Amino acid sequence: MQFDIRRFDIYRKVPKDLTQPTLTGACISVSSVLFILYLFLSELSLFLTHEVISELTVEDPVRHTEKIPVFINITLPQLKCEYVGIDIQDDMGRHEVGFQDDTQKIEVNEGKGCRMESHFVINKVPGNFHVSTHSSRTQPDNPDMTHLIHKVRFGMDLQEGKEVKGSFNPLEDVDRSAGQALATHDYIVKVVPSVYEDTSRNIIYPYQYTYSYRVFM
């Protein structure tokens, strides 16, 4: 007795001469293919999209250091470089007028203005740093403190050009060049230590910050 296992096939083929295409069947087939393609592209897009996850902890992730690196890049289009300097002071007794280390000044606006970049460190205590003319031996008659902030960074730098959600550089491209010439500009900054880990498991320690602004005439 011969046994044929093909008798158990529940997906049997229908002879072509017994099939007939219909408009309804064509619409269902096209719709199914489009729906499957949509699901595939949606899942692929979610897979390729990087998700930023934020976690809040009480302890300081960078407690191994008592100093915070700071980088500032600012342009004062109406104040000459000979007058521009950085003053740093804090509650630990630091009072430094005209900080010069790791500071670069470039003349702009046909020598009438100055672009300044500076790297320095501050203590983890209340204090302030400010751009002023205090360190200059001679003072300008009308110090014009209108400015354009290109960047202010605390802590380690994220990769240039990387779009990261958060408050790592909220002062980037802040333009006060159209303000009153003799006004004093204050930025009250609150700094929070952060840990940033990318998809390659590289860990860096930038600082996020928020600020409020006020101006005195």
Which of 21-25, 31-35, 118-122 is predicted with the least confidence, judged by mean pLDDT? 21-25
Q: 10 in a domain, yes or no?
A: no
Give the three-state DSSP class for 54.
coil
Q: Which helix (H) or strand (E) holds 187?
A: strand 184-193
72 touches 102 (CB < 8 A): no
Per residue in 176-195, pLDDT (tens digit) is 998 888 889 999 999 988 88
**201 burial via Cβ count (<10 Å: 0-12, 13-18, 19+):** exposed
Which of 27-36, 69-78, 128-137, 193-202 is predicted with the least confidence, judged by mean pLDDT? 193-202
* Average pLDDT for 51-58: 64
Q: 79 in a domain, yes or no?
A: yes
pTM: 0.70
Q: 45 in a domain, yes or no?
A: no
CA distance 112 to 82: 10
Q: 17 in a domain, yes or no?
A: no
Q: 103 in a domain, yes or no?
A: yes
Q: 95 in a domain, yes or no?
A: yes
Q: What are phi and psi of 121, to 5 degrees?
A: -120, 150
| pLDDT at 32 exceeding the cut of 70 | yes
CA distance 30 to 108: 63
> Considering its fold, how many domains does the chain have in total?
1
Per residue in 84-143, pLDDT (tens digit) is 999 999 999 999 998 888 999 999 999 999 999 999 999 988 999 999 999 888 999 889
Structural domain range at position 74: 67-158+165-216
